[in-house]
């Protein structure tokens, strides 16, 4: 997908996600900084901060092979290039946060199915993190329609998402 199409579709998808009632109600949002060919999340992150919501972003912890989450208040100042070149919170600037405070989660993925199945990058970082989230926290994935597949094989530890928003439709699981 060329970058122009990816940017246009990303804006449309993120606008749809911003209009979800679960997002509008949320006070604390866990999201991610999109990179490469992923959905571009920068505008969503800025909008979240502009609305006065608490924004949390993950940072890969190589020692524990898990994700730590931090509160981000300023995207330019608080983020640095981290593992795999992904922009992550700088732990010297950002305060650690607790997953139990989260109301809404924007979840990344490589592929999804209409039942909420999510295929990540294979390390299980998000599944381990999301296993500890509050039950009322909505798990929402933004994806391009070309990322939708017939069936994502799910194991017991895999955490499905509640809704997937693409440039064409919403998939509720």
Per-residue model confidence (pLDDT) at position 82: 85
| Among 70, 54, 166, residue whose Cα is nearest residue 114 | 166
Which helix (H) or strand (E) segment is 13 a member of? helix 3-18
CA 93/CA 81 separation, integer angstroms: 14
**Rounded to the nearest 5 degrees, what angle is found at the Cα of 66, between the Cα atoms of 46 and 129?**
65
Task: Look at the alpha carbons of 39, 42, 43, 45 in this order and tell me if their dihedral is positive or negative.
Answer: positive
Q: The domain that contains 40 carries what CATH number?
A: 3.40.50.10420
Estimate to the nearest angstrom the gap between the alpha carbon of 96 and the chain centroid. 17
Q: Which of 48-52, 156-160, 161-165 has the lowest mean pLDDT?
A: 156-160
Determine what percent of the chain is predicted with pLDDT higher than 70.
Answer: 99
pLDDT, averaged across the chain: 94
Percent of the chain with pLDDT over 90: 83
Domain extent at residue 163: 3-172
For residue 124, the model assigns a pLDDT of: 86
- The pLDDT tens digits for 64-115 are 989 999 999 999 999 999 877 889 999 999 999 999 999 999 999 999 999 9
φ and ψ at residue 158, rounded to 5 degrees: -75, 135
What's the domain count of the chain?
A: 1
Predicted local confidence at residue 173, as pLDDT: 80
Which pTM was predicted? 0.94
Rounded to a whole number of angstroms, the distance between the first and last alpha carbons of the chain is: 27
User: How does DSSP classify residue 148?
Assistant: B
Nearest one of 108, 123, 114 to 62, comparing CA atoms: 123
Q: Report the 10 Å Cβ neighbour count for 37.
A: 11
């Amino acid at each position: 997908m060329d970058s122009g199409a990816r940017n246009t579709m990303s804006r449309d998808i993120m606008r749809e996600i911003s209009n979800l009632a679960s997002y509008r109600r949320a006070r604390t949002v866990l999201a991610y900084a999109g990179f490469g060919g992923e959905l571009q999340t920068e505008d969503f992150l800025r909008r979240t901060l502009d609305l006065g919501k608490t924004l949390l972003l993950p940072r890969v912890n190589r020692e524990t092979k898990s994700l730590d989450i931090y509160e981000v208040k300023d995207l330019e100042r608080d983020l640095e290039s981290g593992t795999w070149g992904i922009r992550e919170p700088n732990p010297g600037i950002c305060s650690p946060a607790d997953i139990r405070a989260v109301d809404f989660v924007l979840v990344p993925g490589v592929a999804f199915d209409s039942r909420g199945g999510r295929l990540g990058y294979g390390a299980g970082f998000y599944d381990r993190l999301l296993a500890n989230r509050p039950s009322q926290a909505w798990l929402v994935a933004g994806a391009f329609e070309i990322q939708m597949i017939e069936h994502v094989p799910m194991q017991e530890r895999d955490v499905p998402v509640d809704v997937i928003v693409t440039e064409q439709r919403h998939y509720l699981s």
